[in-house]
Chains A and B, each alone.
Chain A
Amino acid sequence: MKKYTAVFKVNLLNSLAYPAEIATRAGMIMIFMLVFYQLWHVTFTASGSLVLNGMTLRDTMWYLLLAETIELGRPRLAKIISQQVKDGSIAYLLNKPYNFLLYQLAGGLGESLPRMGMLFILGGALVWAMAGIPPTFSHWPVALFALAGAWLLHFCFNALIGLAAFVAEEVAPFEWIYQKLVFILGGMLIPLNFYPVWLQALSKSLPFAYMMYGPAQLFVRPTLQLFIQIIAGQVLWLSVLGGVLILAFSRGMRRLAINGG
């Protein structure tokens, strides 16, 4: 465990070494929140109602903030792992006394944490100014718990896409599709509450809703039933995706050919 903590710390310090860089990147969330606010403000005004599908404008904006924080702050490991597979540098990581997947997980977490923190602070300040105060603090722990599960699900998808480089020449299209499935079926750009019932059911039967909608909805409108539903879904999909990931990694190792260097 100590070695993974060390990897986590190194990546964390590495990210924190350039605070201006993190802040500038995090500034992107302000652009998105500004646009979202315009869209949803006009939508709520046009409807003449303060509550649409159980959400107020304030709920919608804080939901979208958490969803954007997850999307912009999640690990970007697919490209890194696929590059390591393609250029052979994976060989330098495999002969070290640690588990390759846990090493990536610890490193990714160290990189994600400061980014997510900055995204939430900057985006939150803007949402607070535009839409109103954040959800009460009692909502935060449940959302944080679900956020951790969501992060792990994103990690599994990223690692699987990265390892796909063992069999595919180019993995970027897989990453684009994964990202867009999270956008749509995860309810990232439009909260799932606004979807037709059949599409909500479809989304909740797939892992994507537990990677975005789950923590975001728990942040604004937590209930015990929803919490149990989200955590159970995350545990289920983590078991499935984690199993597939371990299998894909061991199969990939069998295909690996290292030629001197």
Chain B
Amino acid sequence: MKELKFLASLWKVNLASAMEYRAAFFSQSIGMILNDGVYFLVWIIFFDRFKDIRGWQLSDMFIVFGVSAGAFGLAGMLFGNAFNLGDIIVNGRLDYYLSLPRPTLLHILASRAVPSGMGDFLYGFISYIASGQFSLDGLGRFVLALFLAMLIFVSFLVIVQSLTFWFGTGGTITGIAINAMVTFSIYPITLFNNTAKLILFIIVPAAFMGAVPAGFVHAFSWSSLGLMCLATVGFLALAIYLFERGVRRYESGSAIQIEV
């Protein structure tokens, strides 16, 4: 409970900070909605020409794109530092967080919000509504799926960037991880063979940011929900474990850092 209050305070501060630069916040949010919309035209053009790809049609793509964009945006809004944890570690900026009496990982992740995340988040809902499969119980499943997909995405980013403690690489590996997750999550999973599917469920868990939650939104099933919950707990636990182990290896450079 105490940690939830702490999280709420951080999010409140992030929102206030974004509102200080309203023009930038709104232009980035609207720009991102347009960006996602134009990006999705690719699938409209593709399915206009080919109609069906191994059982996947345009309406399925709306949902998978919606879940993926929404989860990406939610991650940026709530845990914006998940995108630059590697840089924080490499640049010795962990010192600030380690010196405070709060859970380090949670504090780092929630200390920043990505303004354009709001655009992605809203686009997720627009895409779901545009799919033609909208229903009230579907909306409930969409919100739940979005939340679980976001947790898996953030956990994956933490896992990848915690490797920085051992290998010292920062931004490059993060860029690849984000690109791989986003790229694989917005394609029909039926395109991939069994080996590729195994990779998409375990190594780069893009299936949990696209196909699995999209299937759950399409129709409720205990197996999809169970799979997503299991994956969330598993990836979250691994993320926390790796980060905690990594912190033990962390050596401060005693650089003077200012966190604003």
User: Which A residues form the contact surface with B (CB < 8 A)?
Assistant: 21, 24-25, 27-28, 31-32, 35, 38-39, 42-43, 46-47, 168-170, 172-174, 176-177, 179-181, 183-184, 189-190, 194-196, 199
Besides the known contacts A170-B27, A174-B31, 16 further A-B residue pairs in the complex with CB atoms under 8 A apart: A24-B173, A25-B172, A31-B184, A35-B183, A46-B53, A169-B21, A173-B34, A177-B34, A177-B35, A177-B38, A181-B38, A184-B45, A190-B46, A194-B46, A196-B48, A199-B45
Nearest-neighbour CB distance to chain A for B19, whole angstroms, equals 14
Chain A residues with CB below 8 A from B34, complex form: 173, 176-177, 180
Check A169 against B32 for contact (C-beta < 8 Å). Answer: no
Check B175 against A172 for contact (C-beta < 8 Å). Answer: no
Beta-carbon nearest neighbor of B180 in chain A: A31
Chain B residues with CB below 8 A from A168, complex form: 27
Chain A residues with CB below 8 A from B179, complex form: 28, 31
A21 to B54, CA, bound (A): 38
Which range holds the interface residue count of chain B?
35 or more
Point out the residue from A38, A176, A181 that lies within 8 Å of B32, measured CB to CB.
Answer: A176
A35 to B188, CA, bound (A): 10
Check B191 against A27 for contact (C-beta < 8 Å). Answer: no
Point out the residue from B35, B49, B176, B184 that lies within 8 Å of A194, measured CB to CB.
Answer: B49
A189 to B38, CA, bound (A): 12
**Residue B202 CB within 8 A of the other chain:** no
Chain A residues with CB below 8 A from B173, complex form: 24
Chain B residues with CB below 8 A from A174, complex form: 31
Given A35-B187, A173-B31, A176-B31, check contact A183 B45 (CB 8 Å). Answer: no
A168 to B176, CA, bound (A): 30
Given A42-B53, A170-B28, A172-B116, check contact A31 B46 (CB 8 Å). Answer: no
Beta-carbon nearest neighbor of B179 in chain A: A28
Complex A-B: 27 CB contacts under 8 Å: A25-B172, A25-B175, A25-B176, A28-B176, A35-B184, A35-B187, A35-B191, A38-B196, A42-B190, A43-B50, A46-B50, A46-B52, A169-B27, A170-B28, A173-B27, A173-B32, A173-B35, A176-B31, A177-B35, A179-B35, A180-B34, A180-B35, A181-B38, A184-B39, A190-B45, A195-B49, A196-B48
Check A173 against B28 for contact (C-beta < 8 Å). Answer: yes
A194 to B50, CA, bound (A): 9
Check A195 against B45 for contact (C-beta < 8 Å). Answer: yes
Chain B residues with CB below 8 A from A21, complex form: 172
A39 to B180, CA, bound (A): 15
Chain A residues with CB below 8 A from B180, complex form: 31
Given A28-B175, A183-B42, check contact A169 B24 (CB 8 Å). Answer: yes
Chain A residues with CB below 8 A from B176, complex form: 24-25, 27-28, 31
Chain B residues with CB below 8 A from A25, complex form: 172, 175-176
Point out the residue from B31, B42, B192 that lies within 8 Å of A38, measured CB to CB.
Answer: B192
Chain A residues with CB below 8 A from B54, complex form: 42, 46
- Max chain B CB contacts within 10 Å: which of A25, A39, A195? A39
A199 to B34, CA, bound (A): 19
Chain B residues with CB below 8 A from A180, complex form: 34-35, 38-39
Check B42 against A189 for contact (C-beta < 8 Å). Answer: yes
Point out the residue from A170, A177, A179, A190 that lies within 8 Å of B24, measured CB to CB.
Answer: A170
Check B191 against A172 for contact (C-beta < 8 Å). Answer: no
Top 8 A-B pairs, shortest CB-CB distance = A173-B31, A176-B35, A180-B38, A170-B24, A38-B191, A189-B42, A24-B172, A169-B24
Check A173 against B30 for contact (C-beta < 8 Å). Answer: yes
A181 to B41, CA, bound (A): 10
Binary flags per residue of B179-208, CB closer than 8 Å to A gives 1, else 0: 110011001001111001000000000000
Nearest-neighbour CB distance to chain B for A53, whole angstroms, equals 8
Nearest-neighbour CB distance to chain A for B97, whole angstroms, equals 26
Chain A residues with CB below 8 A from B193, complex form: 38
Beta-carbon nearest neighbor of A181 in chain B: B38
